[in-house]
Amino acid sequence: MDSLFPLALLIGVAALIGVRRIGRFALPAWSVALVGGFVALAAGVVSPDEAFRAIHWDVLLTLAGLFVIGAGLGESRLADAALDRLDRMPLSTATFAGLLGGVALLSALVTNDAVAVIGTPFLLRFAERRGISPVPMLLLLMAGVTTGAVPSPLGSPQNLLIAGADGLTNPFLSFLFRLGPPTLVSLLAVLVLLRVSYPDLVRARPFPPAAPARADGPSRSLRPVLLSVLVLASLIAIEVGAGLVQRPLDLPPVAITLAAACPLLLGPGRLRLVRAVDWRTLLLFVGLFVLTDGVRSSGLVEGSLGAAAGTPAALIAVAILGSQVVSNVPLVAIALPFVEPHGAGALLALAAGSTIAGHLTPLGAASNLIVLEAARRCGVTVSLREFLAFGLPLVLVQGLCYWAWLVALG
């Protein structure tokens, strides 16, 4: 077996996921990744036992729990209440700052992929009700979920992988204090770029007519979802606080997430919420984990990744560029064993670089693909030119911010 085959197979799968269709035939990302995983098995790149061990089941369980919470948020009355409140606000910089901050905070709590799922229809409805172009709202969403995910182990699938590394103690505290401050600057950069790129968004407009009230029922009860969010935020705060007093509890993210999902899983409408979970994204990661194990075992990338891990600038750059070839989750899965020996600083540089890689191209993050596909089904498209014009300045500014901060921390 040619040692280049595993890498070529992964790049081919990533390319098909990026184009999303061939002619009239749609190519669901999850099915492409699973087929690629089966090809790796059939070709002997990985054995069935190696494939099973390559799947990060704790990450999948954590994502499933977060997706349940995200589905609960999406089906609750909170979205309707937020839209009603936004209807009473002028389209000002402060309004868009609030939207961006809400998207970022939710991404830090329930992952960028879950917020991409529930945020796309929300912001499309907002744009329609306010009579504005949906494109800048989708760009705000993609930039917000990418940036907001950086300082949290729960922010993205790749952060969950990094949080489980042996070289990172108390991941919630490490992510927050080492990546939190530059994330605030990075969010400000998103807001400034939105204001500069789309100046017509911020202007006085008549308020839309009041939307008809939607009927409430047992399935739309706020109590279970609010309790889930409260449990999630409380457990994270306890873990961070315990780390601050040098008595870390070392609660794994999977335990925190599943505990937080219990009020929803034990409450009314739990079967509907389970069906609303984005199982396709979980299947996507199953296939990608198998493919990346084959690449990692081939030894093709060990030297380059080990050398890049020595400096934050090189590691951030390699993470950003490599994520455009194979997407960020596979990149981190491949790089983690070679970066881990270099310590917490290198792991957090990998987290920052692989996450902000989502700004550069749609393939850089699965959350981009989720947003773009959901928008396409609603008849809205974001061109590659529009994506690059907004994302390229962001990845440059944010990459510089995270590099400077990590270097300053030493």
**pLDDT for 134-184, tens place per residue?**
999 999 999 999 999 999 999 999 999 999 888 788 899 999 999 999 999
Residues above pLDDT 70, as percent of the chain: 92
What are the pLDDT digits (tens) for 298-307? 766 665 666 6
Strands (E), 120-265: none
pLDDT at 195: 94
Q: Inter-axis angle of helices 344-356 and 134-149, to 10 degrees?
A: 170
Confidence bin at 204 (pLDDT 50/70/90): very low
Q: Tell me which DSSP letter residue 209 carries.
A: P
Q: 22 φ, ψ to 5°?
A: -125, 110
Say yes or no to pLDDT of 215 above 50: no
pLDDT band of residue 244 (cuts 50, 70, 90) is: confident
Tokens of 391: 């994302």
More confident site: 341 or 101:
101
Instruction: Give the span between the Cα atoms of 309 and 399, in whole angstroms.
Output: 16
- Least confident residue range of 41-45, 77-81, 176-180, 200-204: 200-204
Rounded mean pLDDT, 39-49 = 91
Pick the more confident residue, 248 or 140. 140
Cβ–Cβ contacts within 10 Å for residue 19, how many? 10
- What was the pLDDT predicted at 218? 41
pLDDT tier at 393, thresholds 50, 70, 90: very high
Per-residue confidence at 246, pLDDT binned at 50, 70, 90? Answer: confident
pLDDT band, very low/low/confident/very high, at 27 (cuts 50, 70, 90): confident
Residue 248 has pLDDT above 80, yes or no: no
pLDDT band at 217 (very low <50, low <70, confident <90, very high): very low
Q: pLDDT higher for 147 or 309?
A: 147
Could you give phi then psi for residue 169, rounded to 5 degrees?
-90, 145
Residue 219 has pLDDT above 50, yes or no: no
DSSP 151-192: T-TTSSHHHHHHHTSTT-SSHHHHHHHHHHHHHHHHHHHHHH
| pLDDT at 129 (0 to 100) | 87
Q: How many CB atoms lie within 10 A of CB 390?
A: 23
Least Cα distance to 255 among 65, 85, 74 occurs for: 65
What is the pLDDT at residue 394? 97
Tell me, what's the pLDDT at 209?
56
4-18, 32-46, 267-281: which is most confident: 32-46
Q: Comparing 81-85, 102-106, 221-225, which segment has the lowest mean pLDDT?
A: 221-225
What is the Cα–Cα distance from 304 to 338, expressed in whole angstroms?
Answer: 9
> Above 70 in pLDDT, residue 104?
yes
Give the pLDDT score at 376.
87
Q: Say whether pLDDT at 216 is over 50.
A: no
Separation CA 16–CA 126 (nearest Å)? 32
The answer to whether the CB of 65 falls within 8 A of the CB of 260 is: yes
Q: Which of 47-56, 79-88, 381-390 has the lowest mean pLDDT?
A: 79-88
- The residue-averaged pLDDT of 365-379 equals 89
By the 8 A CB rule, do 118 and 82 touch? no
Task: Give the residue-averaged pLDDT of 192-215.
Answer: 71
Q: What's the predicted TM-score (pTM) here?
A: 0.86
Look at residue 101 in the predicted model and tell me its pLDDT.
96
Cα–Cα distance list, 228 to 24, 147, 260 (Å)? 42, 24, 5
CB 301 within 8 A of CB 295: yes
Place of tokens 């009314």: 268
C-alpha span between 264 and 95 (Å, rounded) = 30
Q: Is the dihedral of CA 134, 136, 139, 143 positive or negative?
A: negative
If pLDDT is split at 50, 70 and 90, which confidence band does 355 have?
A: very high
Judge whether residue 120 has pLDDT over 80: yes
183-204 average pLDDT score: 91
Whether the pLDDT of residue 214 is over 60: the answer is: no
